[in-house]
Structures are given as structure tokens and as C-alpha cells.
Amino acid sequence: MHQDMVMRARVMLLSANVRVVRGGEGLWIYRILTPVEPEVYGSKLAYVLVQASASDLVRDLPERRLALLDEAVAVAKALSPANPYRDKVLAKALAARRREVEGSAAS
């Protein structure tokens, strides 16, 4: 990972002054920082990915929604079982993925 990108992501995170940065900015920040510190940022990435899958930007793109949810599940599963947020974000990601798959099958 390029250290300038990591530093920029950290600065953006600090300047955001919120608990979880959402939207495209949050996706960028947490995708950069999760490989560096997965136990710190992985649960936030999974959470933001689930939110992004419900965005109007991907409303008509079922493959993209599913890809976001698959990424969320993978990130959540990669967290240590000792991570206090793992079970919650994994359950949320799996439930959203299940709804997406069931919704696509019904269409």
C-alpha cells in the first residue's frame, strides 16, 4: 500500500469528525485502511459496503449490489472472532446478501 494514500485516508478520517464515514468517501477511506489495520477498520468497511449496496447509485445494478455484499461478507469473515464487531457486521452483511439473492431470484 502506498504510504501517501494511507496518510491521506487517515487525514480524511480525522477531519470527518464522525464515528463512521459513509458513502463513497467512506468506501475509499476504509478500503485503503483495512489492509493496513484490518481489526480496526474492517468492521467499518463491511458496514459501509452494506450501506452502499442499498444506495440509489446501484439500484438498477444487481450484479454490483451483490459484489458489494460479497465484499462485505468477506471482510467481516476475515475479522478475528475476538473482534467485538465481527458477529454484528457479519450477520448484517449475510442478511443483506440473502435478501439480495432472494430478491434477484424472485425477479
**Residues 29-72: tens digit of each pLDDT:** 999 999 999 999 999 999 999 999 999 999 999 999 999 999 99
- Half-sphere exposure in the Cβ direction for 64 (13 Å, CA): 11
d(CA 44, CA 51): 11
The predicted pLDDT at position 1 comes to: 63
Vertex 51: Cα angle to 72 and 89 (nearest 5)? 45
State pTM to two decimals: 0.93
Mean pLDDT throughout 2-29?
94
Instruction: Say how far apart CA 60 and CA 15 lie, in whole Å.
Output: 33
| pLDDT, position 103 | 84
DSSP for residue 20: S
Query: Would you give the distance in Å from CA 94 to the centre of its chain?
Result: 12
Domain ranges of the chain: 3-106
